[in-house]
Amino acid sequence: MRRAIFQIHLWVGVLAGVYIFIVSLTGAALVFRIDMQRALYPDLFTPRARGPLADPVTVMESVSRAYSDHKLSGVDAPTSARPTYLAYVTRGTDFLTVLIDPVSAEVLGELPDRTAIRALQDLHFNLMLGRSGRAINGIGAACTLVMVVTGAWLWWTSRRNWRRAAWELHRTAGVWSAVFIAMWAMTGLSFGFPREFRSAVSVLSPISMGRAPQSPAPETSDTRARPSWREQIATARGLAPGRPVARVVLPFDDRSAFLVMFATASPTPAGSALSAVYLDQFTGQILEAPQAAPSAGDRIMSWLVPIHVGDFGSRGLKALWFIMGLAPPVLCVTGLTIWWTRVVRQRLIR
């Protein structure tokens, strides 16, 4: 049994080693993505004025004036990691990320479309292969999970002699990082195969956060003007009194809803869960209000991204995620070295 599990651990590691090395190294670097962006583009992430935050509608109107030939998709309020407003505008296939001063609502500029950080993101998320790369990442996450389970079993069955083993570094790094690697593998599976993962979670606990509600088709004879952004947000605030607006997402077609999301504090705490209010884009009527008691499945789904990227707002936790993110590359290098010296090299000598 141990020999069979060892062979599984060995060959999955040999075949997936380079993949795990690349994805883990890029993931460790992306823990500090916002910090790198702020260092490279300080003018876009530094407020120019002091005072109370501008309300989201003022920011949206400012962006719409500056990009009159584009379509505004949405806006995010400042967070504990990003002190400026962030908005997205589109025109055809163009997709721009715009930063806005949080007090004056002045447009500070846009992030360049082609940067080393975006290339790093594309390599980590999609292997630069689009949707196909996302599916490959899901398979790679499953391989990584197999490596964690078989490696933990091998360590446990030989734990009495681990100090005498030549694989001390490999085993030690694997044991101390096993929980983190398993967590990244599981969340990676959810990103690669979201529908299947969601179905599996719903078996354990029903997920109430289903498909976003849609605006009913308008009556052909209805000539009423659509409610303004300010009116929509004011209606949503009635269901979340005293809570700051964290995000506004505008309808992208004739059936999607006007979405307003609220945080518990301002600036929005990094990694915090947001409550959502959906409104009919034609009438401004409430389509779905925030749920007071999310299920365990809802909590699992909402925590997938924060625990994968270490988005908790603490630099200490970011540093921990970065250090643990370097463990898989170390395991790949030491594992392949052991395999080469103890197996391949010995066979070549014989």
Boundary residue ending a domain (109, 138, 165): 109
Q: Are residues 126 and 105 part of one domain? A: no
Which residues are registered as beta bridge partners of 109? 99
Q: Are residues 182 and 163 part of one domain? A: yes
Number of domains in the chain: 3
Write the CB contacts of 255 (distance below 8 Å, at least 6 apart in sequence): 214, 215, 217
Note the pLDDT of residue 162.
Answer: 46
**Residue at token pair 């699992």:** 300
Q: Are residues 255 and 156 part of one domain? A: no
Distance CA 247, CA 255 (A): 20
Positions in the chain whose pLDDT score sits under 70: 158-168, 208-211, 218-224, 288-294, 313
Tell whether 215 is covered by a domain.
no
The one-letter code for the residue type at 145 is L
Note the pLDDT of residue 210.
Answer: 58
Tell whether 51 is covered by a domain.
no
Q: Are residues 146 and 12 part of one domain? A: yes
User: Which of 248, 250, 300 shows the shortest CA–CA distance to 273?
Assistant: 300
Tell whether 269 is covered by a domain.
yes
User: Which of 57, 50, 116 shows the shortest CA–CA distance to 83?
Assistant: 50
Q: Are residues 79 and 34 part of one domain? A: no
From the number of C-beta atoms within 10 Å of its C-beta (0-12, 13-18, 19+), residue 124 rates as: buried
Which runs of E-coded beta strand occur in 273-312? 275-279, 286-288
- For the chain, the average pLDDT equals 85
Residue 21: CB atoms within 10 A of its CB come to 17
For 239-280, give the DSSP string. TSTTPPEEEEE--SSSSBPEEEEE-SSSSBPTT---EEEEE-
Tell whether 148 is covered by a domain.
yes
Q: Are residues 9 and 119 part of one domain? A: yes
Q: Are residues 130 and 187 part of one domain? A: yes
Distance CA 261, CA 77 (A): 10
Distance CA 195, CA 186 (A): 14
Note the pLDDT of residue 317.
Answer: 82
| pTM score, whole prediction | 0.72
From the number of C-beta atoms within 10 Å of its C-beta (0-12, 13-18, 19+), residue 331 rates as: buried
Q: Are residues 285 and 332 part of one domain? A: no
Can you give the residue range of the structural domain that contains 150? 2-41+112-204+311-349
Q: Are residues 244 and 157 part of one domain? A: no
Note the pLDDT of residue 270.
Answer: 76
Q: Are residues 138 and 14 part of one domain? A: yes
Distance CA 56, CA 281 (A): 17
Tell whether 48 is covered by a domain.
no
Residue 202 is inside which H or E element, if any?
helix 194-204
Q: Are residues 37 and 122 part of one domain? A: yes
- Tell me the torsion sign for CA atoms 279, 284, 287, 293: positive
Give pLDDT tens digits for 104-125: 999 999 988 788 888 998 999 8
Give pLDDT tens digits for 153-207: 877 776 555 445 446 677 777 778 888 888 999 999 888 888 888 888 888 888 7
Note the pLDDT of residue 3.
Answer: 84
Tell whether 50 is covered by a domain.
no
Note the pLDDT of residue 280.
Answer: 92
From the number of C-beta atoms within 10 Å of its C-beta (0-12, 13-18, 19+), residue 348 rates as: exposed
Tell whether 14 is covered by a domain.
yes
Residue 334 is inside which H or E element, if any?
helix 327-339
Note the pLDDT of residue 273.
Answer: 74
Q: Are residues 169 and 85 part of one domain? A: no
